[in-house]
Chains A and B, each alone.
Chain A
Amino acid sequence: MSKKKLTFSLNYRKPRSQYKDSDELMICIRYYHKCNDTDKTKIIKKSTGVKCMLKDWNTDWHKTNDRAPIKSTDPNAKKKNKILKEKVKSFDIDELYSSVKNDSFSPYLNSNIPFGDLDKKWTNHKNTINLVSPANKRNIDIIVVGTGLAGGSAAATLAELGYNVKAFCFQDSPRRAHSIAAQGGINAAKNYQGDGDSVYRLFYDTVKGGDYRSREENVYRLAEVSANIIDQCVAQGVPFARDYGGLLDNRSFGGVLVSRTFYAKGQTGQQLLLGAYSAMNRQIARGKIKMYNRHEMLDIVKVDGKARGIITRNLVNGEIERHSAHAVVLASGGYGNVFYLSTNAMGSNVTAAWKAHKRGAYFANPCFTQIHPTCIPVSGDHQSKLTLMSESLRNDGRIWVPKKSEDAKDVRSGKLKPTKILEEDRDYFLERRYPAFGNLVPRDVASRAAKERCDAGFGVNKTGEAVYLDFASAIIRYGKEQALVNGEDENNNELVQKLGKEIIKKKYGNLFQMYEKIVDQNPYETPMMIYPAVHYTMGGIWVDYNLMTTVPGLYAIGEANFSDHGANRLGASALMQGLADGYFVLPYTIGDYLSKEISTGPIPNDTEEFIKAEKEAKEKINVFMNNKGSKRVDYFHKKLGKIMWNKCGMARNKKDLESAIKEISALRKDFWKNVKVPGSQDEFNEELAKAGRVADFLELGELFAKDALEREESCGGHFREEYQTNEGEATRKKEFQFVSAWEYVGEPKNAILHKEQLKYKNIEVKERSYK
C-alpha cells in the first residue's frame, strides 16, 4: 500500500453566516476509498473521537460552497480559516487502515496526539487549542478531587486562571495528602550539573525506565515542562537543598546516568506539597477555591454523557452531598493499598478512580505496580503499613546477602552477626548481576533481584524476607576523604569511622533515625535490613493527550492516570509528573473542553441524574449499616492483600492469576454477606469509610489480576514467570506494546479490553539492559 497521508478537512456544518464559535465543526476525510463503511466509522472514531455520520457525508453536502473552507482568494481567508486549519490533522493511512483491519487497537480510544514533530507537539497544541476568555472563566465551575501534588497544583492554577474551583480531600487538611511522604526528590532536565542532561535524555530515560510501555508524546511533554516546575517551586519558597555557592544542588537516582534530581533533604515531597498547598491557600483566601476537607467522593454524576458533578460524604457528620460543575478532575492518587500492606497512607484508596471507571472511564494497565526495593521489612502480623526508606540510600549503600546459605541460616536465627561475615562471603548481588548500574538499577530490577535471593534461601531477617543495605564501605570512603580534607591521618581507623559517620549522618540522618525508631537497631553500626514493598501504581485511569478520560469532561491527573511511567516508574519522577499535570498541562488542556461550555450556564445539582446517584450512594451505605455481619472490614482487606501479594506481586504466573481472580471474586461475595460495620452513618465513622474503600479494592483487585493474566509478557513492574530469559531477566514482547484500557461492563472479570497501540518514532525500542 502506498504511504499516503490521510488528511481531514474541516467544514462548517451549517452555513457560515450562521456559524458561532461554539458550534461543532464537521470533519471530512478526503481519502478513504479503501475502507468499507464499518472501517470508516472506526477510523473516524479512532482518529477524531467524533461519532461518525456517514450518511451525511455521502450526500456530499459538505462540498457546497457556503460550508466549505474559505477560498484563498478571499483577502481575509487566513484569519477566517484559522480555526479550521488548526484542527486539520494527518495520519498515515496505511498504518491506520491496517490497524483498524487487524483490530489490534481499539477504535474507541483516541489519544488526541497533536500533529508535528515530537519536540513541537506541545507548543503547537498549546497554540492551537481553544481557550476560554477570562470573563467566561468566572462562570465555569471545576471540581478537583484530591489535593496532593497533582490536585493541589491543578486547583491552584485553575483558580488562578479564573475558574471557580471546588476542591475535595478526605484528610482534615489538603496538606496531609500522601504526596507529602515522598522523600527522595524531583527530576528536572535543568542540566545545572553540566553532565549531559537534556529534555531528550530525561524523555529517553523515562521511556526506557518504563520499559517502553508509556506514551511517547506524553513523556516528552513531561520532560519539557519539568524545568519549569523547579523555577515555579523556587519562586514559591520551596527550600531546595543548595550548595555553598547558593545554587541548587542535585543528586542522582536509580536508572539514570546523570544527576538531575532536586531535593530538600529526605522531605522533598513534603516541601513540594506545602508549596502547592500555599498556592492553594492563596486562592482559598481569594475565594476562588472552595475547600471541602474531610469529604470523601462516592460517585461521579454524568449528565448527557458528560461528567457534571460528584456525590460526596462529609466524614464528620455523614451527610451525603451533591456537587455540580462543568468538569471534574480526579487527582485521587494510586491504588497500592489493594495490597493492604504498602507504603501508601492508610486512607489512600481507589474509590474515586473506580467509581469513574464504573461510570465509563477506561482503566488502563492496572497490573503495572511498582514494588520499591528499599522498605523496612514486615515485622509481624500486626503490621498496618510499610515504611519506605528513600531510594537515595542506594547511592551509598551496598546491597548484599550472605554467599553461603548456612551463614544466612545463622543470621536468621541470630547466631551470627552480619558484621562478622567476611567480605568474600558476601554476595553483592546487584553489583554482580548489573555491573554498569550496580546498586542503582531501576526499582523493578532491584526488587526482583532481592526477591530472587530471598526465595533462594538467603534472606536475612526472622522471616527470611530481607536483604542487607550496608553503609560500612561508604563510611570508610567518606571518612578517608574527609580526613584528607582536614589534613588528618587517613589510616586512623577510629577517626575515619567517626568522620565517615558524620557525613552519612548529614546526608541520611533523618532516614537512619527513622529506621532506628522502627527496627530498634543502629544502622551506623549494623547493616540495615530492607525488603521490597508496594509503593506506586503506574496504571490508572486511561487519559488522552489532554488528560481527559473516556468520559467527556472527566479528567485524571497525577498517579490516578496511567500515562507517563509505562510499566515502571523511575525514582523522583512521580513528583515531577504530579506537578507537571497540575501546574502546566491540565490548566491548558481543560480549556479546550470548557470552551464549548461557556454558554451552558450553571449546572443544577437537583436534576434526576444527581438525585439518582445520591440515592445509590445512600443505599450502599445502608447496606453496610444494616448488614449484621461478623467480620471486620480489615479482615477482608488483609485477606485481599495476601492474595494480591502472593499471586499478583513481584512475580506472577498464569495459574496463580487465574486462581486469584476466583479467590477475589469469592472474597467479594463473602464481604457483602459478612462484613460488619459498627456505629452509625450520621457521625464520624472510620469503619464505614473503610468499608466503602475496601468494597472498591475488591473489584479492582480482580481487574488487576485479569490484566496481569492477559498481558503475556514481562515488562517493568509486571513480571510473568513464564516469560523470562534463562538468567531470570524479563522478556518483553513486541505484540504487547500497547496500553490495555478496560471498559467496565459489570463483573470486573468480564471487562472489555481496548488496546491503544504505542508507537515509538523518536526512540529505538531496545532490550532494557542495565548490565
Chain B
Amino acid sequence: MRLTLKIWRQKNSETKGKIETYNIDDISPDMSFLEMLDVLNAKLINEDQEPVSFDHDCREGICGSCSLFINGRAHGPDRRITTCQLHMRKFKDGDTIYIEPFRAKAFPVIKDLVVDRSAFDRIQHAGGYISINTSGNTQDANATPVNKEDADAAFDAATCIGCGACVATCKNSSAMLFVGAKVSQYSLLPQGQTEASRRVVNMVNQMDLEGFGNCSNTGACEVECPKGISLDNIARMNRELVKASFK
C-alpha cells in the first residue's frame, strides 16, 4: 500500500507545532497502525530526519499508552479498539491519513504525538481507591457475597484503560467517562460503599481543577472508548454526587 501521512510535529510543549506530510509505500495490510509508523520512523532515521514520537507499550490494547487521533477519530476508524489494534487493512491504497495527538487543555503535548495524561493520575490520587490497609488481614474474600449483576457491571466499568480517548474525542474535552467509570466500579461493590461520598466529591473536584470540560451527553466518548465503557457510568456518577451532596 501507498499512503500519504499528515502528521502533527511539535518539538516540545513550549514550541508551536504543525502538520507535516510524509509519503510512504510498501505497507502491508497485515501491519498494525503502529507498525506502519515504525516503518515510517525507520525511513526517517535512515534519511537523517527525526523520527515521529508516539506513546506505545503493550501493543495489545490493554496498557492504554497509545493515543493517536487518526482521520478525525480517537484510535482511528475501527470501533472498540486502541490504536495499536488498528490494522492497515482498514485503509485503502492511496489514502491520506491525518495523525494527531489526543488534544485537550488538560493533556499538554510533550512532543509530536506524545501527550501528558498525568491529570488522570491526579484524579485517581484524589479518591480512586478503597482505603484499606494492604496487610492482607481483611475478611475472607467470600465473606461478603456480591450479586453477579453488580460484580459484572463493576467489572465492565473497571475495564477502563485510562487512554484518554474519551477526552480526546469529546468536543468539550470532558473526562466524565473516565471518572464516571472509576466512581461506578467502586460504588457498585459493597467494599466501596463506606467512602463513596467522599470519593465522588473529591474526584469530581479534582477533575474540575484539572481543566476538563463539562459533559453534554453527546455520547461520543462511549462510541470511541476502546473498552466500550457505557455512558451510564456518567449518569451513575451524577447520581452519586447528588447523593453525596445532599446527604
Contacts and interface: CB of A to CB of B under 8 A. Distances in A.
Asked if A and B touch directly (CB within 8 angstroms), the answer is yes
B233 to A, nearest CB: 14
A247 B87 contact: no
A576 to B, nearest CB: 13
Interface string B107-123: 00011001011101100
A593 B154 CA distance: 41
A242 B148 contact: yes
B235 interface: no
Given A230-B141, A388-B60, A239 B154 contact: yes
A239 B191 CA distance: 10
A762 interface: no
Nearest to A232: B136
Nearest to B159: A267
Interface stretch (B16-24, B61-69, B169-177, B213-221): B61-69
Contacts of A246: 145-148, 151
B8 to A, nearest CB: 14
A667 B151 CA distance: 52
A676 B45 contact: yes
A235 B130 contact: yes
B51 A279 contact: no
Contacts of A285: 125-126
Interface string A332-353: 0000000000010111000000
Interface string A181-192: 100000000101
A265 B140 CA distance: 21
A431 B111 CA distance: 53
Interface in B55-104: 55-65, 78, 80-81, 85, 87, 89
B231 interface: no
Contacts of B12: 683-684
A277 B124 contact: yes
Contacts of B35: 382-384
Nearest to A190: B141
Nearest to B42: A632
A180 B87 contact: no
Contacts of A160: 133-135
Contact of A237 (B31, B147, B191): B191
Contacts of B230: none
Nearest to B160: A274
Given A178-B63, A181-B58, A514-B85, A192 B132 contact: no
B238 interface: no
B5 interface: no
Contact of A380 (B28, B49, B63, B85): B28
A231 B89 CA distance: 45
A235 B191 contact: yes
Contact of A267 (B48, B62, B110, B145): B62
Which of A192, A225, A237, A679 gathers the greatest number of chain B CB atoms within 10 Å? A237
Contacts of B223: none
Contacts of A237: 129-130, 154, 185-186, 189, 191-192
B117 A172 contact: yes
Contacts of A274: 158
B134 A180 contact: no
Contacts, number: 217
Contacts of A238: 158
Contacts of B28: 380, 382
A663 interface: no
Contacts of B116: 172
A232 B121 contact: no
A236 interface: yes
B111 A181 contact: no
Interface in B4-43: 11-12, 28, 30-32, 34-35, 38-39, 42
Contacts of A583: 134, 136
B57 A293 contact: no
B57 A345 contact: yes
A485 interface: no
Contact of A686 (B53, B142, B144, B159): B53
A731 interface: no
A282 interface: yes
A50 interface: no
Given A234-B191, A239-B155, A634-B42, A584 B145 contact: no
B45 A245 contact: no
A281 B124 contact: yes
B34 A384 contact: yes
B89 A520 contact: yes
A585 B40 CA distance: 46
A110 interface: no
Contact of A345 (B39, B59, B81, B114): B59
A282 B129 contact: yes
B75 to A, nearest CB: 12
Contacts of B141: 190, 230-231, 233-235, 240, 248
A457 interface: no
Contacts of B56: 346
A271 interface: yes
Interface string A275-294: 00111011011000001010
A270 B136 contact: no
B45 A687 contact: yes
A382 B38 contact: yes
Given A237-B186, A346-B57, A518-B87, A382 B128 contact: no
B232 interface: no
Contacts of A517: 78, 81, 85, 87
A59 B62 CA distance: 65
Contacts of A172: 55, 65, 116-118
A346 B129 contact: no
A181 B142 CA distance: 26
Interface in A641-686: 676, 678-679, 683-686
Contacts of B55: 172
B60 A678 contact: no
Contact of A385 (B59, B131, B135): B59
A678 B136 contact: no
B36 to A, nearest CB: 8
B194 to A, nearest CB: 11
A711 interface: no
Interface in A164-179: 171-178
Contact of A239 (B38, B65, B78, B189): B189
A513 interface: yes
A157 B134 CA distance: 6
Given A178-B57, A293-B118, A686-B51, A270 B62 contact: yes
Nearest to B189: A237
9 contacts: A157-B134, A174-B121, A234-B138, A240-B141, A242-B151, A248-B142, A285-B126, A632-B46, A634-B38
* 9 tightest Cβ-Cβ pairs between the two chains A and B: A246-B145, A228-B136, A278-B129, A239-B155, A235-B138, A234-B141, A684-B111, A239-B154, A282-B129
Interface of B: 11-12, 28, 30-32, 34-35, 38-39, 42, 44-46, 48-51, 53, 55-65, 78, 80-81, 85, 87, 89, 110-111, 114, 116-118, 120-121, 124-126, 128-142, 144-148, 151-152, 154-155, 158-159, 161-162, 185-186, 189, 191-192
Given A181-B63, A382-B35, 18 more contacts: A157-B134, A173-B117, A174-B121, A175-B64, A178-B57, A232-B136, A234-B144, A235-B139, A236-B129, A237-B129, A237-B186, A243-B148, A267-B62, A278-B124, A281-B124, A345-B58, A388-B60, A632-B46
